[in-house]
């Protein structure tokens, strides 16, 4: 059987299974999710051992440290993933929720209710946690999941899917609710993107190149998850100690994720004082700055052993996946907003300020899926916002925007009930 047919076969099985998942009760789905979590814990050694082979291969291929960090599964990380699955089980079931309901003057009862999308395909890079998160969220929302991870995580994704399918079988649920898309070539991705009629939606997660390729090449509808070119703006009215803590957390708490800060902009009125505080701390954290002339000069006159390189347009546009940070000084808040509007990927921006007027101007001046006010950009995350595991962070404006959890994996049906009504 050729690769195209293999991909279409798993898509067809997913479509057949979707109709079996649609009527499942919350109790059925939650029982399966808890079985998956238990299976992950019981197979920790098996999973971590297999993952080590993927990590070793990636390292020998010269893969960047940030990507290897995303790829790596330790026992601790696997336990966190299992915990996240159980958290999904605790969340309300979106299926059947009445979005709105009313009675028309003619007596017809109208209800708009949430229903599963059907078959959800994920195309993603080097993040095996996505394999489990996506499967769990799809299962809870009544969707069949097709999972196409990158070749760098092939062995890890295979064992994770096997463990989850084993858990479904133990609970008497269809194993094809969770499937790994066969193949490691780019052609297998193309076949999936063209499986219109079998796949209801594709969600890509990864770098700009992957997302652009899926958005531009898919005949299946796509929910675009965005690259995280994330900004922190330090206002003239900022508490500088707070601003430094937020910047350091946004950049260094985990630098290989999409909600990590990539650019800091500082109001000119506080630039000298803030940079004097920030440069030594950033140096201690191992951050490399890509600074404008003001930042470069501040670094040259500072006693901090911080590396500063002249900033380029490529730096302003970059999602680094590393301990690199673009830095600039702006004359006013509007200039900061203009810079963000030019370079932002529409993911997350943050302002640190004690001025209500400045905060309001910033909120109106930027247009991103999430805006943090006096808080770290790392909070743009489904778990941190109380959604449980997320399937991605959408930077588009149709259907879903920001962290996508269970409601965003549903569509709606209008149920109209009459008593013999006919239209005059």
324-349 confidence digits (pLDDT tens): 999 999 999 999 999 999 999 999 99
Collect all residues with Cβ–Cβ distance below 8 Å to 328 and sequence separation of at least 6. Answer: 263, 264, 265, 266, 291, 292, 294, 295, 311, 339
Tell me: do 248 and 220 sit in the same domain. no
How much is the pLDDT for 382? 84
Tell me: do 110 and 72 sit in the same domain. yes
Answer for the pair 321, 347: CB distance below 8 angstroms, yes or no.
Answer: no
Tell me: do 257 and 161 sit in the same domain. no
In degrees and rounded to multiples of 5, residue 277 shows phi and psi of -75, -40
Tell me: do 72 and 167 sit in the same domain. yes
How much is the pLDDT for 400? 86
Asked whether residue 424 is assigned to any structural domain, the reply reads no
Asked whether residue 355 is assigned to any structural domain, the reply reads yes
Asked whether residue 360 is assigned to any structural domain, the reply reads yes
Domain that holds residue 310: 230-379
Tell me: do 214 and 241 sit in the same domain. no
In degrees and rounded to multiples of 5, residue 39 shows phi and psi of -65, -40
How many CB atoms neighbour CB 390 within 10 A?
25
The model's pTM is 0.84
How much is the pLDDT for 155? 96
Tell me: do 210 and 355 sit in the same domain. no
Terminal C-alpha separation, the chain = 56
| Total of domains in the chain | 2
CATH code where residue 332 lies = 3.40.309.10
How much is the pLDDT for 50? 97
Tell me: do 209 and 247 sit in the same domain. no
Asked whether residue 117 is assigned to any structural domain, the reply reads yes
CATH code where residue 83 lies = 3.40.605.10
Stated as kind and residue range, the H or E segment containing 234 is strand 230-234
Instruction: From residue 172, give the alpha-carbon distance in Å to each of 31, 43, 95, 424.
Output: 10, 20, 21, 49
Q: What is the token pair recorded at 116?
A: 């599963």
Asked whether residue 356 is assigned to any structural domain, the reply reads yes
Rounded Cα–Cα distance for residues 151 and 71 (Å): 11
Tell me: do 104 and 135 sit in the same domain. yes
**pLDDT tens readout for residues 116-148:** 999 999 999 888 999 999 999 999 999 999 999
Answer for the pair 121, 96: CB distance below 8 angstroms, yes or no.
Answer: no
Tell me: do 48 and 122 sit in the same domain. yes
Rounded Cα–Cα distance for residues 34 and 27 (Å): 11
CA angle 345, 348, 351 (to 5 degrees): 125
How far is C-alpha 186 from the geometric centre of its chain's CA atoms? 22
Tell me: do 404 and 331 sit in the same domain. no
Mark residue 420 as left, alpha or beta (left: phi above 0; alpha: psi -120 to 50; beta: remaining): left
Tell me: do 122 and 186 sit in the same domain. yes
How much is the pLDDT for 1? 66
Asked whether residue 249 is assigned to any structural domain, the reply reads yes
Positions of the chain with pLDDT lower than 50, given as ranges: none
Tell me: do 306 and 367 sit in the same domain. yes
Asked whether residue 391 is assigned to any structural domain, the reply reads no
SS3 152: helix
Asked whether residue 405 is assigned to any structural domain, the reply reads yes
Answer for the pair 279, 291: CB distance below 8 angstroms, yes or no.
Answer: no
């Amino acid at each position: 059987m050729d690769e195209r047919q293999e991909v279409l076969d798993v898509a067809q099985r997913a479509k057949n299974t979707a109709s079996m998942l649609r009527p499942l009760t919350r109790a059925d789905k939650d029982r399966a999710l808890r079985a998956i979590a238990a299976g992950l814990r019981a197979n920790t050694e098996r999973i971590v051992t297999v993952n080590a082979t993927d990590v070793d291969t990636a390292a020998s291929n010269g893969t960047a440290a940030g990507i290897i960090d995303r790829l790596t599964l330790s026992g601790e990380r696997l336990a966190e993933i299992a915990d996240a699955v159980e958290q999904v089980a605790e969340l309300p079931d979106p299926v059947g929720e009445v979005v709105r309901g009313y009675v028309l003057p003619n007596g017809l009862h109208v209800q708009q209710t949430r229903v599963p999308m059907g078959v959800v395909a994920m195309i993603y890079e080097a993040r095996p946690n996505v394999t489990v998160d996506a499967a769990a969220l799809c299962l809870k929302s009544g969707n069949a999941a097709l999972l196409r991870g990158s070749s760098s995580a092939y062995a890890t994704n295979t064992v994770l899917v096997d463990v989850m399918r084993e858990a479904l079988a133990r609970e008497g649920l269809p194993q094809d609710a969770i499937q790994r898309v066969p193949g490691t070539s780019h052609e297998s991705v193309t076949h999936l993107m063209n499986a219109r009629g079998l796949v209801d939606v594709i969600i890509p997660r990864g770098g700009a190149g992957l997302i652009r390729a899926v958005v531009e090449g898919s005949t299946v509808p796509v929910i675009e998850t965005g690259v995280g070119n994330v900004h922190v703006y330090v206002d003239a009215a900022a508490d500088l100690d707070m601003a430094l803590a937020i910047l350091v957390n946004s950049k260094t708490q985990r630098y290989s994720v999409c909600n990590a800060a990539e650019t800091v902009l500082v109001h000119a009125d506080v630039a000298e004082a803030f940079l004097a505080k920030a440069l030594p701390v950033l140096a201690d954290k191992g951050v490399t700055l890509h600074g404008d002339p003001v930042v470069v000069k501040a670094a040259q006159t500072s006693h901090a052993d911080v590396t500063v390189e002249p900033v380029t347009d490529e730096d302003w546009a970059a999602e680094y996946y590393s301990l690199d940070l673009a830095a600039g000084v702006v004359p006013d808040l509007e200039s900061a907003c203009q810079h963000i509007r030019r370079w932002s990927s529409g993911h997350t921006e943050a302002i640190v300020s004690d001025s209500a007027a400045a905060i309001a101007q910033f909120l109106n001046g930027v247009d991103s899926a999430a805006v943090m006010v006096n808080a770290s950009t790392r909070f743009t995350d489904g778990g941190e916002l109380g959604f449980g595991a997320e399937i991605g962070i959408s930077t588009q404006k149709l259907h879903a925007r920001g962290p996508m959890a269970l409601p965003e994996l549903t569509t709606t049906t209008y149920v109209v009930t009459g008593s013999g009504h006919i239209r005059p």
